Structure 1
Amino acid sequence: MRKYLAVASGALLSTTLAVAGCSSNDTTTSSPATSASAQQGGRPGGPGGGGPGGGMGQVTAVNLNTNGVSPGGANTAAVVAATNAFLATLDATTKDKVQYDFTENKARQTWSNFPTTTVPREGIVMSALTAGQQKAADAMLAAALSTTGAQQDSNIRASDDELNRLGGQGADGFGSLTDYYVAVYGTPSATSPFMIQFGGHHLARNLTYNGDKVSQTPQFVGTEPTSFTAGGTTVEPLKAESTAMFGMLSGITAAHKTAAKITSGTFDDLVMGPGKDTGVYPASEGVAVSELSADEKKLVTTAIQTYVGDLADAAAAKLMAKYTAELDQTRIGWSNNSGPTDENSYVRIDGPSVWIEFINTRSQSTPNIHFHSVYRDKTNDYGSTKPS
């Protein structure tokens, strides 16, 4: 089983610092020093990067436990079987690149929205696997995710094939196989903790199992372009999330929307994105969901469901019940712009457990915006109550 070496984290830190202002397609431009990201010490934001931790991997000391608060319902046995089936397709050398000790916490927290050429991922790149091994990896993820979640992964990866086709600004290095990595932490077990990690540019799945408990967070999804045609079909990888988050804003009263405006600053990218594993979240802002009407509350639960619903159905249902029970202690907010196609439109859901951010950022390869979104559980990221 592979060990995460200290030199690897040092190399990652050096790489991250060296490219902080220049990375393939997700890069940065200057932004006003008064932006929230500047105030909080993050990199200035811009196309695809920016914001606090935008594009960063985990480069600080970590200390995860296994006490994450999960309502249960995980289909752990099915995921164990699918994971073992994937590992069984690998020879010893390849398996050593894929599988880590579960205690390799720094590696478990290494994920990003930046290209893998900029922020190296752990595990093995999908293009290095045979077709049969790729199919087994996809089956492993399909066992962990809902049909909707697995389809979204496929669509996000296809968006990188479209970036490759568009070219320019380094986009010709992207691809659905060449920029996505898979890793397994620990020995798959129905009783002991293990984790499946999959991602690359604009996607991070961190799925941690511990008996019937499961954590699907941190979860990053994004897409550039936001819409494209593949095989004669229009593909919109984040249509559900964008529609639900902006529909939530447009569906509340004008007074509630005014109350929901975040006043601490504006945002050029995600606040709790990659590398933000301190477990410290901003002070709650926006309008309290308890003040909304029943119909307005339904818009909030619909938005949360678009993220939670990526997980296998039974566990997702239990998790939604938890978040719904906390709804009156939850706030929704927005900053800068609130239109679904406006640049830097930023929307947030902030509850006792759930944290969701969605932002429109400038695209490098198209004349339009592209999407970044992160979903975190304050009590269960990485299956832990102590992120760092």
Structure 2
Amino acid sequence: MSDHIHRGFRPRNLDLPILDGTLHADLLPPAVAQEVSAALRNHRDPYVGVTTDGTPIGGLYHLEDTGLSHRKVLDAASAYLETLEQHQLLSARLPMDSPEWRLWTNAFPVWTHQGLRLDRVEPRQRDAALALVEASLSPDGYAAVRNAMKLNGALGELVQRYSDSLGEYTYHFTLFGEPSADTPWGWQLAGHHVDLHCVFVGSQLVLAPVFLGAEPTRAGDHGPYAGVSAFERETDGGLAMRRSLTGAQEERFLLGDSLRTADLPPELAGPNGRHVSGAGQDNLVLKPEGISGKELTRDQRRQLLELADVYINRLPEGHAEHKRRRFLDHLDDTTFAWRGGHDDTSAFYYRVHSPVLLIEYDNHAGIFLDNDEAERFHVHTITREPNGNDYGKDLLAQHYARFHG
């Protein structure tokens, strides 16, 4: 691994209680155990969604016929199911209304994870599962997912420990419901730094929540993952948006100019960093912070849309266009907030908060590498559909009311 990739930082000499992909929280300090078990504590709470005041804004999501076909996805789902043995179906597929949709973590689970683990099934089954993921996303979206998975494998090789937990395929894949053009269904891919939730409701597709991250964001120059990298667009797009803003606007969007621990409030200096909408936060109450779209110049509004497009374009083309239109409909009520520097090396955090799209990007201190301060080579990104449509919940409620009410 080349030194310049991590600015000279090395793997930590640490002994985490991670075994076979499971984190044993009872062996962690209480405060850390509390954070990593949030999803397990909260996933059965009545679902509300991310809101600004505890009450979702109604009428933001509409059940409709997009005219888009999911034939390729349905064929991939059938092909995947055909590879499975009868006993595997007990874990591979869960009911559509299963609470396990909301049971995920970007770290390591403190529970027995649902679904089939991709490194524990036959290669043809793993490839079929990934083919379903690929059919559901855009080429850019699938590349982002696979690169994050590969970088997890590169991390395992770099630290030379936790080989049963840090790997390219140490991820669980779960189908929910019965793949159908008429009946809602979906899938979850979950594991370290990769958590995707994809829901199909008729001709509509919801991809949320999505957590993608990597430590480091680039592999070295040798080995099976040589040259693999991720999050360049997310990083560069955020910087371009920040740099488009003026000094006179800073008081409206700048939350702080440093991510160094000494410069942060204590609640923003812990293991979760600055992001607030991660695992276990499905009912987060988050007041808008930052400069609003109505306060931006025309060029700045264009820059904000280009940044949002980095995340929207993980969706297949037709679905991305639909999401982009909804985002534009609410651009005046969308806020952009920033914390950190905006030179060529400083770590930073940004948030795009729209009524229909929440984006968070955060640089982190090292977990497996020994940088005690946040660095650009450790990235977390999160997207959600606020006001009740994570996991397609709003559209699903409309579907069941219309067709099964």
Q: TM-score, normalised by structure 2?
A: 0.77
Per-residue deviation, residues 209-238 of structure 1 (Å, max 9, x unmatched): 110122100010101102123658522221
Match of 1:362 among 358, 361, 365: 365
- Aligned counterpart, 2:294: 290
Residue 374 (str. 1) matches residue 366 (str. 2): no
Per-residue deviation, residues 342-374 of structure 1 (Å, max 9, x unmatched): 34x211111111111111001233355311111
Structure 1 residue ranges without an equivalent (≥5): 1-13, 23-42, 45-49
Aligned partner letter, 2:381? S
Larger mean CA deviation between 90-99 and 364-373 belongs to 364-373
Given that 2:61 and 2:395 are in contact with CA atoms closer than 8 Å, whether structure 1 keeps it comes out as no
- Aligned counterpart, 2:121: 129
Give 1:310 shift.
0.8
Q: How does 1:89-168 map to 2 (within 5 A)?
A: 89-104=83-98, 106-116=99-109, 118=110, 120-167=112-159
Per-residue deviation, residues 246-281 of structure 1 (Å, max 9, x unmatched): 221122222223320237967323111110011x43
Residue 256 (str. 1) matches residue 260 (str. 2): no
- Aligned counterpart, 2:203: 212
- Aligned counterpart, 1:35: none
- Aligned counterpart, 2:215: 224
Mapped to 2, the partners of 1:19 and 1:289 lie a distance apart of 46
Give 1:386 shift.
10
Aligned partner letter, 2:276? V
Larger mean CA deviation between 202-211 and 356-365 belongs to 356-365
Given that 1:63 and 1:386 are in contact with CA atoms closer than 8 Å, whether structure 2 keeps it comes out as no
Distance 1:191 1:238, change over 3 A: same
State the SS of the aligned residue for 1:217.
Answer: strand
Mapped to 2, the partners of 1:300 and 1:109 lie a distance apart of 29
Q: How does 1:73-84 map to 2 (within 5 A)?
A: 73=66, 75-84=69-78
State the SS of the aligned residue for 1:222.
Answer: strand
Structure 2 residue ranges without an equivalent (≥5): 1-21, 49-58, 257-263, 397-405
Aligned partner letter, 2:290? G
Give 1:190 shift.
0.8
Match of 1:184 among 172, 175, 180: 175
Count of matched residue positions in the alignment of Structure 1 and Structure 2:
343
State the SS of the aligned residue for 2:71.
Answer: helix
Given that 1:68 and 1:385 are in contact with CA atoms closer than 8 Å, whether structure 2 keeps it comes out as no
State the SS of the aligned residue for 1:216.
Answer: strand
Distance 1:285 1:135, change over 3 A: same
State the SS of the aligned residue for 1:228.
Answer: coil
Mapped to 1, the partners of 2:327 and 2:353 lie a distance apart of 11
Q: Give the percent of matched residue pairs that are identical in Structure 1 and Structure 2.
A: 22
Give 1:287 shift.
0.7
- Aligned counterpart, 1:195: 186
Give 1:115 shift.
2.5
Give 1:157 shift.
0.8
Mapped to 1, the partners of 2:294 and 2:38 lie a distance apart of 35
Aligned partner letter, 1:59? R
Given that 2:219 and 2:225 are in contact with CA atoms closer than 8 Å, whether structure 1 keeps it comes out as no
CA RMSD of aligned residues (A): 3.0
Q: TM-score, normalised by structure 1?
A: 0.80
Given that 2:118 and 2:126 are in contact with CA atoms closer than 8 Å, whether structure 1 keeps it comes out as yes
Distance 1:371 1:295, change over 3 A: same
Match of 2:39 among 57, 79, 83: 57
Give 1:320 shift.
0.8
Give 1:107 shift.
0.4
Give 1:57 shift.
2.4
- Aligned counterpart, 1:269: 274
Q: How does 1:339-358 map to 2 (within 5 A)?
A: 341-343=345-347, 345-358=348-361
Mapped to 1, the partners of 2:185 and 2:240 lie a distance apart of 37
Aligned partner letter, 1:78? K
Distance 1:293 1:214, change over 3 A: same
